[in-house]
Structure 1
Amino acid sequence: MNKLRASYKICMPFLVCLFAYTTMFAVQNAQDTIAQIAKYRQNAEAAIVIQDYDEAILNLSLAEKLLTTFNDDDSKTNVLLTSVGLNYYLENYRKAASESNKLIELLLKTNKRNELGKAYNRYGFVLTRTNELQKARMYFQNADEIFTELNEEKNQSDVLMGMGILELKEGNPKNAVNYFDAAIPLYQNFGYKYQEAFSQLNKANALLQLENTSRTNNVRLAKQALEAANILIDANDYTKLKIESYKVASEIALKERKYRSAAELLNIYSTKNDSIHQVYISIITKTIEEEANLGNLTEIIETQKNDLDQKKKSINFGKMTNGLSIALIVILSLLTLSLYKNNNLRAKANELLQDKNNELLLAKEKAEKASLAKAQFLSTITHELRTPLYAVTGLTHLLMEENPKDYQKEHLNSLKFSGEYLLSLINNILDLNKLEANKVEVEKTTFNLKKRINDVLVALKKSADDRKNNLHLEFDESIPDRLAGDPLKLSQILINLVGNSVKFTQNGDVFVRVQKLDHGNNKVMLHFEIEDNGVGISKKKQKSIFETFSQGSLQINRKFGGTGLGLSIVKNLLELMNSKIQLDSQLGQGSKFWFNINFQISEEMTEDNNPNNIIYDVDYMALENKNVLVVEDNKINQMITKKILEKNKMRCEVADNGTDAVKMVKKNDYDVVLMDIHMPGISGIEATQKIREFNEDIPILALTAVTIDENLDDFYRAGFNEIIPKPFKPEEFFEKIYRSINSKNKFVKAN
């Protein structure tokens, strides 16, 4: 008995190892089969891309034959997905539908959400081709829900293209163009050239069916889309798409009334299309014959399977005895090595953790320094840009008042527009810099909300008309007429949001909606919505769209322009006003921005109708012969300011610095002083303080490029009457001078 037990103890470890090795060998054999099926399927996919359908069918058949001897759901799923795609390209829609149903039934039993989304999407394409449009829409929506949930932009691009084709089939070319415009940048990002070319062709077709806009413009855009498609088609030899391009080219020629060219192109399309259909029919017939032979092959495989199993068993037993000792040595070696490495790693872990903590502290310090340096740099660069820009806008204004010729007016208007655009950009950078540095305060004045919104829409109407968009306002009339808050910041928020919607929408609509949510205790909560039906924003980009300098993509930046500052400013302004910007958007269907904000109900009967000097009321005759001292160290700026004043018959003297300015004010009688701030020697603020020591009445206006470090309240405390930021609009310039002089005269009369 003891000998038996001893034998058992000796044999047991050997038997355990033998069982483990046998299991390991079986697993390895299964993995080899799965890998071979995957290789055949990948070969089939590659062949489909280059339109070698015979090669695709051969590899797919080999994969399917292996699946008859080895059942693996993952492999079966992937093979069915490829089969659906292949039959779709071959226009064998009945087989594609049958394979789709099998695939979906198989995937619903698993938790493979991504593969299920692909199956839904491909079935949607098949149903679109068989004109089961309502059912196709349902499957596209199911796919979109899955890809949105998984944040899968690559696959979502195919859903967008499918929805575009569906809208085109349903007679909605405008919606179709939006979907194709949303899909094309994604295909460009991911390098899907076939799909990009296919989308461009469909977009061209959709544009040709549009009727609500200029026919000439639609044909021009369709030709651009066709040209973009043909570049990809010719570079990659996409035969099927090349044939489709002849049909689109024929439609374009027909729209341009080039009837002979249209007929020739249509004839080429018909001939080549019939030819390729014959090829497809031949391939499909060959496939059917191979499927019939597959039954016989299955029987042969089954009869040979037993013989192969017997041979494998004898071969495997011989391999086991040789491999067992190797396996045992390898296992023991791995265990020893693992223990050694574990000890070393544990010893180093604490050192690494300490190093990482030190690195994080250094990184934090560097980030804080970088943020400060960025703020200082942006402040400096915006200030330095304003000085030469003042020369550009000032000289442009002077030249436009000297009766230029018509062709010169065109150039000057372009120069004026460019200067205003650059000034807007500089102002945006300065605004954002101030917001991030917490140097912006919310003001409180009485205003009429509906009037404010209408002013914004009027300001943006030309931009909307240029892109053939319609602006709509839906305003809750129960909102009180007089509210107390910061109307300038609210206008800035709305201009950025509505302007953004106008820029990313064409031939569409932009809606501005304002509703009252709550009313009580002299306060009202309002809900603002800005909605468009433009290209939309992907779920992935929605997470970063409010970051500084962020845009949807490189393609969007190139197509629509801009810096990506507007939405960042909106976000910061709303947070300053205790609100938060929200976004709902879907590619191809448009975007909706919304926020809720509280305002007080004002008891005042009137509001400041001109809080930002938008309407300029100036008596220019009252300014004639007034004496002005311009304090400016920059010679070009001296010349420009002096000429602008003298053009309006005002007498002007110039001081190069603050010290000279103080002396000249003591010696002479001036009606107004225009004081620069940054000058050599004493600054404009110091010069103003010295002047106020002996003259409290003379109007002094700060004429300066304001930086982030300058608080406007400091200017008023120093003794300035007004601030004119450079560069300025001439109307605003003279309005502030007139108002300052007029206020002084009223004060003198009163005394």
Structure 2
Amino acid sequence: MKNLSIFIFLSFFCSSTFAFQGQEVKNEEEISNQIQELLSGAESSIIGYNFDSAIRKLDSSIVLSRSINHKRYIALSSNILANLRYIKHEYDSANTHIKRAIAIQEEIGDNIGLAYSYIQYAKILDLQKKYSEAQKYLDRAEKIYDKNNNQEQLGLVAINRGVLALHRGNDYSDALTHFRNAEIYLENSDNKYEKSRLDYYRSTAYLLLANLDKAEESAKKALDLAHENGFAGVMISGNRRLSAIHEAKNQPDEALAYLRKSMEAQDSIIYHLNDVELGREASAMYGKDALKNTLSALTLQNAEQEKSLKVNKLTTILSVALITILSLLTLSLYKNNNLRARANDLLQKKNSELTIAKENAEKASLAKAQFLSTITHELRTPLYAVTGLTHLLLEESPTENQKEHLNSLKFSGEYLLSLINNILDLNKLEANKVEVLQTTFNLKRRISDVLVALKNSADEKNTSIHLNFDDSIPNKLKGDPLKISQILINLIGNSIKFTENGDIWISVFKLKQVDKTVYLAFEIKDNGEGISKEKQKAIFENFTQGSTQINRKFGGTGLGLSIVKNLLTLLNSEINLESDLGKGSKFTFELRFEALDNVAITHAKPTKEQEPVALSNDIMIDKRILIVEDNKINQMITRKILEKNKVICDVADNGTIAIEKVHNNHFDLILMDIHMPGISGIEATIEIRKFNEEIPIIALTAVTLDENLDEFYLNGFNDIIPKPYKTEEFFHKINRYLAASAKTPV
């Protein structure tokens, strides 16, 4: 077969040369067009794995290029030939061709061609495990393309940087970052082959990171492009990648099916190539026979009988050999069939066992989620009594001894509440019950609210918080503000906990904006305790902290960073950490939003409405507040807290009584529990709103609130205070609504 290929190549070469010599009148422009067609055809043949055709076209293009002394085409032909040898893993030959291309391009100053050759050389060096050299040539290519603002080629550089990171095996997340950059660069490109490569290698990265769903999604995208455009290599590799993904998912039937598709694609290519070669061989043979008939008809007639005998003898031998081969093949197929049947039975049995195990695991997970939801709700009611009574006792002039014990009790209650909230958040994330909402919000104001909430904690640690907010970020963004608040509260709270007498810097800046899509980078940096290198990956796991000593010194549950990681995964992002022990830590992540306007936040001084306003408790004096609560202890605690501020309180044990009292009496504000015997707090609020739309109604409840609070507001509530609450938040919200109701200027 190899000799036949050489023979065909020589024939093609000679015929091309003679044709070229016979057409001396052909001008240089026509030859240039012919070279371009040959090079384009060669690249298409390489993508389709038709290597012999590619070699013939490349050799012809080199002959034509030399005939007109066109060095750029000679270099480009060498570059494509290097790519072919690279695909066939003939690295020495690939090195020779690419170095020749680079030398010519440097000589003639062809920077664009040189950058393309640098990428090709980097790919060859990568597979030879010469990673540092490969990185150097990618840097050179990027410098040229960046200068010319060539987005598509910058995308190719980013893809190969990602592949290089995968092969190094040290940071698969870094590979994903390069692939995201490549996707942005190639967004408006028609280069479907590189897009299919991008999705294939991205599926590899997700598989290595055990993110199997995203790995499958990317592999299928690569395979769809390959099928549409006939990218043979991607079809073979893509099916093989999907087989590995389904094997990792414990789905043996799907894994086997994709493996078969990969083998069928490979066999199809091999069969096609062999069929082409056999056709050429037959054509050459028939031409030779026809020539012999023309030269010696009489000799052929005399030799016909002898030839016929030889053919018959050969036919008999071939028939016996064929029958033997068919018999062996039949036996082999029979045995393979039996083995396959047994393997299928075993796979079905294992699949059934895995299905049962999966169902049991799902039931256990559901039971765990329901148990945690129920038990944490039940814990909130007595915890409200603990925190409320502690607050009352602290205000009754306790002795120094008693005050110390009460402060310890208050701290323990707040710690227990934090633990309950973290467990609930993590439980919802793991049960996939958290949905991403899309609402309009002001990011700077949202961050300011978070900083106000954390100010007391920072002051206790004598730590300063600095905000650096990019003024080019639009005022109105569309996204999920609550999840952003959760992420920032956990990250900034973590920095506060480990930074004493220090500084924390929060930076938000715009990476880029494509149409209405804004890409923002967030950075939370401190100069606190820091995290050792060996502990940096573990701290994002559940119930994990830097060390036992850190846990004893600073406390905490070890859930905050785990929640951050899960929330960012839900928002299609990742958390990155840089830290040195004793020098502080830096957390960074990126998010994408939809911009609803292009007006940037100015440097003007915030108005009074934007600044946090401290309201005096004096506004509560002689105000009438109705407490709707079925729990007697909670009634007593809420009533005493309010009456200490000279509020006139009334109590309703259920929703029915509350409706009647509001109908017959005047109240300035209502505190409404949600779950009560008879009608619920929501139903009672709906009824009250039918005859009184003005009175402020605040939900005071131990129910854990989902991210979507629309149900409360749509049914007539003005605000929600979850129990157990901090008294500062409790008084702030009540004072705000009393002030608004009385039209008191703030």
Scaled by the length of structure 2, what TM-score is found?
0.46
Scaled by the length of structure 1, what TM-score is found?
0.46
